[in-house]
Amino acid sequence: MTPNRNPPGLLRRLGAFFYDMVVLAAVLFAATVVLLPLNGGEAFRPHHGLYSAYLAMVSFGFFGWFWTHGGQTLGMRAWKIRLCTTDGNPISWGQASIRFVCGLISLSFAGLGFLWILFDSQRRSWHDLASGSRIVWKN
CA distance 103 to 106: 5
Stretch 53-58: mean pLDDT: 95
Number of domains in the chain: 1
Band of pLDDT at residue 49, cut at 50, 70 and 90: confident
Q: Is residue 82 part of a domain?
A: yes
23-33 confidence digits (pLDDT tens): 999 999 999 99
Q: Is the pLDDT of residue 4 over 70?
A: no
Print the domain residue range for 100: 10-137
Q: Is residue 95 part of a domain?
A: yes
Q: Is residue 3 part of a domain?
A: no
Q: Is residue 1 part of a domain?
A: no
Q: Is residue 38 part of a domain?
A: yes
Q: Which of 138, 126, 27, 2 is nearest to 72 (CA)?
A: 138
Q: Is residue 4 part of a domain?
A: no
Q: Is the pLDDT of residue 1 over 60?
A: no
